[in-house]
Amino acid sequence: MAVLDLLRATAHLPQEDLHILCDSQYVINSITKWMPGWKRKGWRKADGKPVLNVELLKELDRELVGRKYTFEWVKGHAGHDLNEAADERARAAATAYQQGVAARSGPGFPGAHHMPPGAGAKAAVQTKEARDASEAKAVRRAPSETPSPAEAYEEPDLFSQLGNGAFGADGTAIRAASAPPEAQVEELERELLGPLVRGDIGRTAVLLHPDFMEFGSSGRVWTRDAMMMALEEDPGERTDIEILSVDRIGAEAVLLTYRSYARSGTILRSSLWVLDGGRWRLRFHQGTPEA
């Protein structure tokens, strides 16, 4: 929706060479790599399954006709001025939604006929002049300056955890203070094991820490992006688990260990959850087949 809103807001400038900054590799790859093949296959993936988010992708495909654009991936919460500004507005809109109040829409893009209210989107467009100014500012930054620490990383979705609160799977607000950290982490781990959540790349982006890594039971090392895309392709079935221990590791970390049951046998698993910007997120996971 971020990129779609951007294209619609700049529709009155069809000849403008857009430089689109986006922190979602999934969005960028969908548009620049995968979409042509999906269209040839009737909007189906290589395995014959329907493409997810197909209606949004079709709308993007229509809006891109005749437009000149390039995509640039930027890491979220790495000190990039535009990304930080977009995230601040996205969080404000999401917080307003959580509190049931109207979100401030802002002035929108200059000259646009319509900009959807509260379009908090972690994508930004730069004209040549704005891009040059941004690059010049980056050059002026002293080498010793470091980006501000990440408060949170999220792909926008209705049920993102916000500040000290969160939304449950049914959209019900849940306050972090309502349960001890150990209970919160166990609930989040069980949520992440559900196929509906695993197949929702927006939700997994909230649950997985930006620096997430997994040593899988097969021996494969998974990065965050690779894991999110793999889960969207094949979320699998709900897994039965037996909790072995839930231990606090300092004030901002919880180590969860459990046994999962599969047709091929049992797997011993450990998950390290860390407190990041007021929310618990999965930083590291490891699975080892049980002898």
Structure tokens that stand for 114 in this block: 């319509």
Q: Is residue 254 over pLDDT 50?
A: yes
- pLDDT at position 70, please? 93
Strands 68-73 and 17-22: parallel
8 A C-beta contact, residue 23 and residue 82:
no
- pLDDT at position 209, please? 93
User: When comparing pLDDT for 130 and 151, which is higher?
Assistant: 130
Q: Is residue 153 over pLDDT 80?
A: no
User: When comparing pLDDT for 285 and 1, which is higher?
Assistant: 285
- pLDDT, average across residues 247-270: 91
First CA to last CA distance, the chain = 47
286 strand-pairing partners: 215, 270
- pLDDT at position 249, please? 92
Q: Is residue 275 over pLDDT 90?
A: yes
**Which one-letter amino acid corresponds to residue 110?**
P
- pLDDT at position 111, please? 79
Second CATH level (architecture) for the domain 165-289: Roll (3.10)
Place of tokens 């300092």: 250
User: When comparing pLDDT for 215 and 86, which is higher?
Assistant: 215
- pLDDT at position 79, please? 86
Q: Is residue 55 over pLDDT 80?
A: yes
- pLDDT at position 178, please? 58
- pLDDT at position 128, please? 43
Question: In angstroms, what CA-CA distances link 19 with 23, 121, 181, 269?
Answer: 13, 15, 42, 43
Q: Which long-range contacts (CB under 8 A, 24 or more apart) does 192-196 make?
A: 192/282, 193/238, 193/239, 193/241, 193/260, 194/169, 194/238, 195/235, 195/236, 195/237, 195/238, 196/169, 196/235
Q: Interior CA angle at 267 toward 271 and 180, to 5°?
A: 30
Contacts with 143 (C-beta within 8 Å, 6 or more apart), sequence order: none
Q: Is residue 256 over pLDDT 50?
A: yes
Which homologous superfamily does the CATH classification assign to the domain defined by 2-140?
A: Ribonuclease H-like superfamily/Ribonuclease H (3.30.420.10)
8 A C-beta contact, residue 76 and residue 83:
yes
- pLDDT at position 168, please? 38
> Which of the residue ranges 91-105, 128-142, 235-249 has the most confident prediction, judged by mean pLDDT?
235-249
Q: Is residue 135 over pLDDT 50?
A: no
pLDDT band at 113 (very low <50, low <70, confident <90, very high): low
Domains of the chain: which residue ranges? 2-140, 165-289
Helix axes 128-140, 81-99, angle to 10 degrees: 110
Supply the DSSP symbol for 251. Answer: S
Q: How far is the C-alpha of 229 from the C-alpha of 198, rounded, in Å?
A: 10
Structure tokens that stand for 33 in this block: 């790599």
- pLDDT at position 177, please? 43
Give the number of other CB atoms < 10 A from CB of residue 250. 8
